Amino acid sequence: MLNEIKELDKKYYMNTFGDRLPVAFERGEGMKLYADNGDVYYDFLGGIAVNAIGHCHPKFTAALKSQLDRLVHTSSLYYIENQARLAKKLVESTCADKAFFCNSGAEANEGAIKLAKMYFYKKGIDRKEIIYLDHSFHGRTLATVAATGQEHYQAPYRPLMPGFVMAEPNSFEAVEEAVTEHTAAVIIELIQGEAGVFPMDMEYAQRLREFCDEKGILLIVDEVQTGMGRCGRLFAHELYGIEPDIFTSAKALGGGVPIGAVCAKAEVAAAFEPGDHGTTFGGNPFATAAGLAVFDVIESEGLVENSAKMGELFLVRLREVMAQHPDKVTAVRGAGLLIGIEIAPEKAAAVFKGLHEHKMLTSLCKGRTIRIAPALNITKSEIELFINALCAVLEEV
């Protein structure tokens, strides 16, 4: 079956992903994914931080089946109950006052950038520039690529959309130097996931918030990967004790059903008026039913708390492994259940491949960091399965 799928993919699908890992999954349950040949894998990547409540959680699938029997899509021409209820849930659970739904993280970040520009446009103030950080990743649309600090993503699409200015991460002085009278916003990931799980310093983040307030600049926090309990709080900005003017969410928000959200303070959100922004599919009854179900599971099962507790245990165990293999594991970084394991460059690809052969699913960032982002309901025994597999691989490479 796998060979047939690979041939179909090669013949009919645009080659944007190249040769993928040699496995195709047909069902999942919790942390487990079952391949078409019967092999069982443990998903320590969580669909790239998407499957925060695990695969096929019974409450989640029941909610989606119920919604399918009733209504999938109408349009934004009409009121949508689930959309209104999910917006209420996001607002009541965070520092935001308003929410807007779209279909992905890139769309959410694009919407956040548009909102920041519109905020100053409506005030008659010439502020259009967006400061972003080196090594960041904010999406693959033309605007979010221009705001992504990674040359290999930008190079094919030059000339890039103007008005984006890059600054070094964790350098307050670099942001100060990048600011001009035309600066509208700074967009940051408080933990740069795709770059290899690099957290911003606490002092840097808090000083940046104060500086933006002083200069009248909006602070946008990209929480696409770090939100919905991933880092031991509902959103990562809570870890840093700051409140963004705008923050975005996606990935885990829909538990695998495509959805994104732009969340903002009331004054900023008011810049969007009828006709300024829109969407056909965003926030439809099915996608927002998924978001409501994810919230229900996270809250009823205490998964934010479990993320913090299991994440701390995971980091402790990984640092013990690092102490045992200092020549192979060079750093362990993260918060909650978003963790990067930096491997010596000459060993990283072999470790990633070895973990896959031991049926542990991860990703390899920047050619040297193993990224893990498992389900938030992960158990101690599942963490130990990973630790044992990692130790075995490290002995082999």
Active site residues: 137, 222, 251
Helix (H, G, I), strand (E, B) or coil at 167: strand
List the one residue out of 319, 369, 305, 379 whose CA is nearest residue 341.
369
CA distances from 343 to 48, 191, 242, 334, 351 (A): 19, 19, 32, 15, 8
What is the Cα–Cα distance from 210 to 163, expressed in whole angstroms?
A: 23
The residues, any chain, with a CB within 8 Å of residue 150's CB and separated by 6 or more, are 135, 136, 137, 194, 195
Q: Is the peptide bond before 159 cis (omega within 30 degrees of 0)?
A: yes
What is the Cα–Cα distance from 251 to 106, expressed in whole angstroms?
A: 10
CA distances from 188 to 205, 284, 352 (A): 9, 28, 28
What is the Cα–Cα distance from 296 to 224, expressed in whole angstroms?
A: 19
